[in-house]
Amino acid sequence: MVAALLVVVAMAFRVSWNALKDVAHAVGADWLAADLYPLVVDGLMALALIAALVLTGRDRRFALWVLGGYTLASLVLNYVHGLVPGLHDGGRVRLAVWPPAHYALVLLASCLPVGSIFFGSDLVAKVLHHKPESSQKTQTAVNRSGSDLAGSADPDGFESVYESADPAPVAEPTPVVAEAVPVRSVRAVAAAGSRPRRATGAVPKSARTRVPARSEDDLLAEARSVAYRWSDAELTADRIRTTLRTSPARARMLRDTLKAERAADSRHLTGPLAPAVLDQYQAARGGADTALTTAVTLAAIDYDTAHPGEPSAMDQLRALDDRPDALIEPTDEEKAS
């Protein structure tokens, strides 16, 4: 069958040889170039056919397009050879009476050799770099058979890639008498592995734990409670951000607010405790909030221990104990009013 096909192709190539050779003479090729011209056109058709049988996918469609295009071009040139008797004698002859058709046929005949170089090189490269699917399938089958064999030999030796949300406690191994254990099949192992699986991928927003948003007043209250022992140099936005775990913008806002409060009220210069902390201490003492008063007192003791020789925080608290109606000595403006 293959031999018969090769014979038919060879006879067809011989029939088309004269037509393409005469067309090459008509467009200006010399005798050697005209003799090689049929190999350029029909030879690329044979190469494209072989490539279409070897390649797959998009490369195969490309080879079929090249085969169809060059087949159509050879058909057109053979048709013109039959219509123009002057081509049979060789030499420069017009391929058509109508000038646009003549120019189009000359352009077609001249472009076929260049196209053969381009498309032929591309097809050869695709064939050389092509990996047959049979070898890939064989390798995949070998890998699968190896994994199945290993799974059937010891199905419990492989841990699942999914972790249980609440794994059961693992009991201590106890010596047992060796006995015949039936080997479970792959389906049985898959059925036994239907325990709850851990969620993979991105967690949707609806399933995420919502963190309660703190208002600016809450953040300001927290900042006052932690920054009352800080000096002006230590009162920075970065320290507020890391301490309160808030955004840089809010940290800058809290820093500016606290510094504005300190600048507006000069009473913080008489001791290390900020007026807002003293106000909270006085309100907690009046409301019998033992936890807050104890926390402020301990913080003052720690500050005095760590900063000997500086203004005492306990003196500020004692001043509140002596005079509950005021935090410190009134300023000159307050005395005047």
Residues 294 and 318 in one domain: yes
Judge whether 334 lies within some domain.
Answer: no
- How far is Cα 163 from Cα 174, in angstroms, rounded to an integer? 25
DSSP assignment letter at 201: S
C-alpha torsion 101→104→105→106, nearest 10: 120
In a domain, 82, yes or no: yes
Domain match, 94 and 23 both: yes
Same domain, 224 and 320: no
Evaluate whether residue 312 is within a structural domain. Answer: yes
| Whether residues 20 and 123 fall in one domain | yes
Do 231 and 303 have their domain in common?
no
The CA-atom distances, in angstroms, between 212 and each of 208, 280, 293, 322 are 12, 24, 27, 41
Q: At which of 78, 108, 128 does a domain end?
A: 128
What pLDDT is attached to residue 304?
82
Overall domain count for the chain:
3
- Give a yes or no: residue 168 inside a domain: no
pLDDT profile of the chain (337 residues), mean per 10: 80 83 87 89 90 92 94 92 80 85 91 93 92 64 54 49 53 56 52 58 68 81 82 86 90 90 60 72 76 85 83 77 46 50
CB count, 10 Å around CB of 82? 10
Task: Flag whether 259 is in a domain.
Answer: yes
272: nearest Cα among 262, 285, 282: 262
Say yes or no: 221 and 109 in one domain.
no
Last residue of a domain, one of 128, 160, 177: 128
Cβ–Cβ under 8 Å, residues 258 and 227 = yes
pLDDT at 271: 64
Of 264, 298, 320, the one marking the end of a domain is: 264
Give the start-end residues of each E strand in the chain.
Answer: none
Q: Please check whether residues 35 and 68 belong to one and the same domain.
A: yes
Q: Is 266:329 a contact under the CB 8 Å cutoff?
A: no
125 token code pair: 């490269």
Give which of 311, 314, 320 is closest to 279, Cα–Cα: 320
Are 305 and 220 in a shared domain? no
Say if 152 falls within a structural domain. no
188 domain-assigned? no
What is the span of the domain harbouring residue 317? 274-329
| In a shared domain, residues 90 and 14 | yes
Residues 122, 240: one domain? no
pLDDT of amino acid 323: 47
pLDDT value of residue 115: 92
pLDDT at position 194: 57
Predicted pLDDT of residue 51:
92
**DSSP of 144-171, one letter per residue?**
HHHHHHHHHH-GGGS--SSPPSSPPPPP
Q: What is the pTM of this model?
A: 0.40
